[in-house]
Amino acid sequence: MKTKGKVTGIISNIVIVKTEGPVAQNEIATVKLGEVRMMAEVIKVVGDDAYIQVFDSTRGLRMGAEVEFEGHMLEATLGPGILSKNYDGLQNDLADMDGLFIRRGQRTSPLNEETLWEFRPLAKPGDRVEAGDWLGEVKEQWIMHKIMVPFAFEGSYTVRSVAGAGEYNINHTVAVLEDAQGGEHPVTMVQKWPVKRPIKAYVSKPRPSRILETGVRPIDTFNPIADGGTGFIPGPFGAGKTVLQHAIAKQAEADIIIMIACGERANEVVEIFAEFPHLDDPHTGHKLMERTTIICNTSNMPVASREASVYTGMTIGEYYRAMGLKVLILADSTSRWAQALREMSNRLEELPGQDAFPMDLSAVISNFYARAGLVHLRNGATGSVTFLGTVSPAGGNLKEPVTEATQKAARCFYALSQQRADSKRYPAIDPLDSYSKYLEYPEIIEYLDERVEPGWVDLVNRGKTIVQRGKEASEQIDILGDDGVPVEYHDRFWKSELIDFVILQQDAFDAVDANTPLDRQRYMYNLVLDICDRKFGFDDFQSCVEFYKSLINLFKQLNYSEWESDKFAEYRARIDEMVAAKESNK
């Protein structure tokens, strides 16, 4: 029997309901407005008053309106057909929506119930299984989508029967499980899971032990993110957060990409919808959209949907992780999610924290980031969720609450610099303010020693030191003038510029330079470090400037040349010749 209630107060999309029975935190409710049924979520319960956030406009809602509580939390529908879909924060399929704007109360099915999937059984009668174990698989795009024991099943079950190989829709019973008491449980290809509860269908969650190669040099070379790790990209508007995320989505070595546009509703979302279906996937030769799911807020949804979208995206990511896949989740921008939390907290008249954000903001962000990670499954397979979010601090202030709270939770910090963006140094990742704590992990150090070369972390730190010394020399030159410092200061500065232009800058729109494999990054970085270690004799600062500018131009052409091509070898020979000539004249 569903609990019912009546509206007694309305504060924008926060509605107070006098309940007639028990109601749980995060329970879903239906608010009735004439023939319209609006979806809502319980966010606070005080006695027999339930505070609910409505996911539609509450315009026209009156006191006394009927509310019905559904008895379950906000859930994601999980099954074959999620990939290539464009969802809103409540997992409505936007392609099935009517008109330019979503009608109030309109809901669509997340999955097509008529599509037939070629099922292949993996389990057999008599097998003992638990939640998350694989019963069969279907081919979704080019991904082998596992049909699993529903995550809500507790304890151990015996497989009574499994459907034979053939074509079935998602609602067809593909297996029957028997519990310890002899009860039978039919299993279909689709299941539901509360988005605010982590999916724990694994046996262990160890620390990450390898990096996720993104093809972006300032990330992979200087501050790599781990496979199953967490990171965030703070930066002011126009610093290139979205372009950087798009580049990572296209090039990273992940099986599944989930884009969460949880705040931006203008150019960035339009670019995703317009570009992703046409982008070629460099890893598979297919279209990138075939292994991508996009979750975004539409322009006429209230801010409450921002919170729903990030949790829905994470739940879908955990679902594919349980299949032994590598999932990359990109959220833009989590600042909008935090602002939604602030707005709801203020309407509930809760005690505000710094800048009026909720007192528990740091805990909420930390708990969410903790859902990412590397996991070992019962069958020995390994899956991962790597989460990378952006933060848009007002005025580029990295000391504001959202940035500081996220910095405590994430292990990688990619600070975008307004100064670098203004000087067209993209990606505008500040090499000195940014960091990766994964470079402190013994497992990651060992992996880099084997995958790249021994002592790689020490080489990275050498490069950072050169950049730091170059910055200090630049400040001295700015104060005292070109002629007011020794020529060694210019040499030191231009060696840091060599690292900047060759390693830290990258053309996201060039077919070659956009994606740099790790082997090529190692080669180029060692080449640049070798030159930085050499001593050149310059008569004056002008000759120093001319030498390094010419050298940087050759290196840029090297970056635009196909790896190990004749053109690449030609520019490499010219660089060697130029360096050797300068050394002989010192």
- Residue 586, annotated as binding a ligand: no
Name the β-bridge partners of 49. 18, 46
The string of DSSP letters for 132-171 reads: T-EEEEEEETTEEEEEE--TT--S-EEEEEEPPSEEE-TT
Q: Which residue has the tokens 């809602």?
A: 61
535 appears as a binding residue in the annotation: no
Residue 234 marked ligand-binding:
no
Write the CB contacts of 554 (distance below 8 Å, at least 6 apart in sequence): 571, 574, 575, 578
Residue 307 in 3-state DSSP? Answer: helix
Is 6 strand, coil or helix? Answer: strand
Phi, psi of 547 (to 5 degrees): -65, -50
Question: Would you say 239 is a known binding-site residue?
Answer: yes
d(CA 221, CA 156) in angstroms, rounded, equals 45
Give CA separation, 546 vs 142, 482, 501, 542, in Å: 52, 14, 15, 6
Handedness of CA 555, 559, 564, 570 (dihedral sign): negative
Q: How far is Cα 203 from Cα 85, in angstroms, rounded to an integer?
A: 30
**How many other C-beta atoms are found inside a 10 Å radius of the C-beta of residue 222?**
25
568 is in an annotated binding site: no
| Residue 460 CA, distance from chain mean position | 25
By the 8 A CB rule, do 66 and 8 touch? Answer: no
Strand (E) or helix (H) holding 43: strand 36-46
Please spell the DSSP secondary structure of 445-471, one letter per residue: HHHHHHHT-TTHHHHHHHHHHHHHHHH
238 marked as part of a ligand binding site: yes
Which tokens belong to 385? 């969720």
84 close to 290: Cβ distance less than 8 angstroms: yes
d(CA 21, CA 2): 9
Which tokens hold the place of 182? 């002899």
Report whether 313 belongs to an annotated binding site. no
Distance CA 530, CA 160 (A): 65
The conformation of residue 92, written as its DSSP 8-state character, comes to -
CB atoms within 10 A of CB 385: 29
Q: What is the dihedral of CA 107, 131, 366, 389, to 10 degrees?
A: -60
Strands (E), 403-562: 412-413, 435-436
Please check if 235 is assigned to a binding site.
yes
Helix (H) / strand (E) containing 61: none
Of the candidates 189, 191, 199, the one whose C-alpha atom is nearest the C-alpha of residue 77 is 191
Cα 115–chain centre separation:
29
- Cβ neighbours for 569, distance < 8 A, ≥ 6 positions apart: none
Q: Count other Cβ atoms within 10 Å, centred on residue 9.
A: 12
Contact 332, 265 (CB under 8 A): no
Instruction: List residues forming the annotated binding site for ATP.
Output: 235-242
Instruction: List residues forming the annotated binding site.
Output: 235-242
